[in-house]
Amino acid sequence: MTTSSAPGKIILFGEHAVVYGRPALAVPVAQVHADVEILASDLTGIWIHAPGVNLHAELNTLPFDHPIASVIRNFFFLARRSSFPNGRGARGEGKSPNLQINITSSIPVASGLGSGAAVTVALVRALSSHLNHPMTDEDINSFAYDIEKLHHGRPSGIDNTVVAYAKPVYFVKGQPIEVFKVGKPLTIVIGDTGISAPTKESVADVRKLWEADNTKWESMFDKVGEIAKHAREEIEIGDWRLLGELMNRNHALLQEMTVSSPELDTLVEAARKAGAVGAKLSGGGRGGNMIALAEAEKADDISFALISAGAKNTIVARIS
Ligand code: MEV
């Protein structure tokens, strides 16, 4: 049996503008994760069990664009092309092995916490290890980016990168990844609106705005990029006060981009009132999650305030 796990993620600064080449900061969230277990099976074929999405099926019965099936098919395509070094029945044109793949995830779907990227990374890592087809983190990241492109239109690549490396990343599309230091541990309270909102849609809507008025939105993205750069410096030196202010400013720009929602704004406001240093939506927006920077001793109060204001769930994450 082979097992593998990949964390969720939050974007601290720079979502959406990152699609247009501006920097963004993202960190892994270990409290939520996708887990994959692979076993040899007595049944013929590749059987996938993902109870969280009510999936119990043999690979060949799933449609071409099914997110989990596309990961497995792409893996076999790639592995056959380069051939398995010591493949267990999967070399060249040979038959695929009989497998049972169990997938579980505690990351809510379409909530800005990187659930799709985490399932892809955990699954491909488990397949590569079970079938003895070694892949580096870089290989896994580039594989996961190809899968993100299949399902999410024009992703920047930040989600798969932070999930594949499981480290805080300062990300600029198309450039080598930079891991950033966290000068003083950050306590982040994550509040879930409970509204699932596909990133693909908010990214497509921002693109329409950008196409309609390139100059205006390029300058908006520049402002977000400057905030992300500045935030990295503050995180590295550990100055929280300014960081909170930068989060608030980033949220205001995301509101202008039309990707916030009344529910997100309510939670952001509730967190600030409960003493958060700063708060903003995180990820694609329109629903999903918001984040609040907190002093460690205030995290429970902020969490309570978020639940009272309608959050379906909260997570207190410590980033160090
Ligand atoms: C989604 O987690 C982040 C976005 O910036 C989209 C992307 O970078 O691909 C909204």
Which pLDDT belongs to residue 87?
A: 46
pLDDT at 96: 79
> What is the model's pLDDT at position 92?
45
Contact 85, 133 (CB under 8 A): yes
pLDDT at 84: 60
**Whether residue 284 has its Cβ less than 6 Å from ligand 1:** yes
Are 284 and 259 in contact by the 8 Å Cβ rule? The answer is yes
Cβ burial 255-265 (10 Å sphere, 16+ → b, else e)? bebebbbebbe
The tens digit of pLDDT for each residue in 161-198 reads 999 999 999 999 999 999 999 999 999 999 999 999 99
3-state secondary structure the chain: CEEEEEEEEEEEECCCHHHHCCCEEEEEEEEEEEEEEEEECCCCCEEEEEHHHCEEEEHHHCCCCCHHHHHHHHHHHHHHHHCCCCCCCCCCCCCCCCEEEEEEECCCCCCCCCHHHHHHHHHHHHHHHHCCCCCCHHHHHHHHHHHHHHHHCCCCCHHHHHHHHCCCEEECCCCCCEECCCCCCEEEEEEECCCCCCHHHHHHHHHHHHHHCHHHHHHHHHHHHHHHHHHHHHHHHCCHHHHHHHHHHHHHHHHHCCCCCHHHHHHHHHHHHCCCCEEEEECCCCCCEEEEEECHHHHHHHHHHHHHCCCCEEEEEEEC
Residue nearest to atom 2 of ligand 1 (CA): 283
Residue 254: closest CA among 276, 288, 286, 219: 286
Would residue 191 be called left, alpha or beta, if left means φ above 0 and alpha means ψ between -120 and 50 degrees? beta
Query: Distance from the CA of 207 to the center of ligand 1, in angstroms?
Result: 12
Output the residue whose Cα is nearest ligand 1's atom 10.
284
CB burial of residue 171 (10 Å; 0-12, 13-18, 19+): buried
158 lines ligand 1 (CB under 6 A): yes
The pLDDT of residue 106:
95
Question: Do residues 256 and 269 touch, judged by C-beta distance below 8 A?
Answer: no
- Confirm whether pTM is higher than 0.75: yes
Mean pLDDT by 10 residues, the chain (320 residues): 97 98 97 96 95 96 94 93 58 72 94 95 97 94 95 92 97 96 95 94 96 98 98 93 95 98 98 98 97 97 98 95
Q: Which position has the token pair 């920077």?
A: 293
Domains of the chain in sequence order: 2-171 (3.30.230.10), 182-319 (3.30.70.890)
**Minimal CA–CA distance to 132: which of 95, 83, 189, 69?**
83
241-294 pLDDT, tens per residue? 799 999 999 999 999 999 999 999 999 999 999 999 999 999 999 999 999 999
Known catalytic residue: 159? yes
- For strands 46-50 and 99-105, give the pairing: parallel
Q: With left for phi above 0 and alpha for psi between -120 and 50, is residue 168 left, alpha or beta?
A: beta
Q: Closest ligand 1 atom to the C-alpha of 284?
A: 10
Residue among 61, 9, 55, 3 nearest 30 (CA)? 9
Q: Is the CB of 14 under 6 A from ligand 1?
A: no
Establish whether residue 19 lines the binding site of ligand 1, counting it when its CB lies within 6 angstroms of any ligand atom: yes
Whole-number Å distance, alpha carbon 17 to ligand 1 midpoint, is 8
Task: Specify the pLDDT at position 91.
Answer: 44
> If you average pLDDT over every residue of the chain, what do you get?
94
